[in-house]
Amino acid sequence: MQRRVRNPQHKPRPRMEFTTLWDFPSQNYGIGWQGSTSYKGATPSYIVWNLLKRYTHKNDLVLDPMCGSGTTMDVASDLERRAIGFDLTPVRPEIKQCDARHLPLQHDSVDFVFIDPPYSDHIHYSDDPRCIGNLGAHDPKYYEAMEDVLHEAHRVLKKEHCLTLYVSDSFVAGKPFCPIGFELFSRMRQWLAPVDIVAVTRRNRALRDIAADPQSAPPYLLRGFHYLFIMRKE
């Protein structure tokens, strides 16, 4: 497991954010890793760290129903929270194989939910027909599937506790703009109360390359941030 290998480069320690604009210097904090940097679409661990620090307590049970390389589980362990992670295609033994729309959990049983779902079909995760990453953002089935994921997370979340969704919009040249963030927020809003909305700066190689060579920028705006929707079950 990559987490056990020590990284000679010490990355900055996480610190509490005080505004709704977050921008992190690296994917992972400290010595070693949370999740896997080689996993395409892995969540920057500073995000999960900030959420767990602010919205959970020691020993709380944290759920990530689409947990990929397990970033949420590793940060939860660092902060002495308990964690349960599911994914359609688990990459570690602690992650259980499950469709996020049918979780083997009781109603009102978890203290916090973090979800970083596929947003459209930019990344290939698996050929499993249930993989939501195979549905394009123009396809109404994407929103139906995500609504089912969010409903299921809401079912297992305890009342007065938080569900958080980290997601970006999608723009593909030649196709209409897909405001995924607002689409999913408006669906969640029907049965969850908004607590806050954070914008998290995106940092990836394509954006760095364009910053270094602005002439190579395409004639449309690139996505520069993710939404982090923080909602509460009432």
Ligand X SMILES: C[S@@+](CC[C@H](N)C(=O)[O-])C[C@H]1O[C@@H](n2cnc3c(N)ncnc32)[C@H](O)[C@@H]1O
- Contacts with ligand X by CB under 6 A lie at 35, 39, 41-43, 66-69, 71, 86-89, 99-100, 116-118, 125-126, 130-133
Smallest distance from ligand X to CB 118, Å: 5
Smallest distance from ligand X to CB 86, Å: 6
- Strand (E) or helix (H) holding 72: helix 71-78
Helix, strand or coil, per DSSP, at residue 39: coil
Residue 83 or 188 with smaller CB distance to ligand X = 83
What count of Cα atoms within 13 Å lies in the side-chain half-sphere of residue 109? 10
Beta strands in the chain (DSSP E): 21-22, 61-64, 82-87, 96-97, 110-115, 157-167, 193-201, 225-232
Rounded to the nearest 5 percent, the helix, strand and coil shares of the chain are 25, 20, 50
Residue 167 or 231 with smaller CB distance to ligand X = 167
Residue 145 or 231 with smaller CB distance to ligand X = 145
Residue 116 has which token pair? 């970083």
Smallest distance from ligand X to CB 189, Å: 22
Residue sitting closest to ligand X (CB)? 68
Residue 67 or 228 with smaller CB distance to ligand X = 67
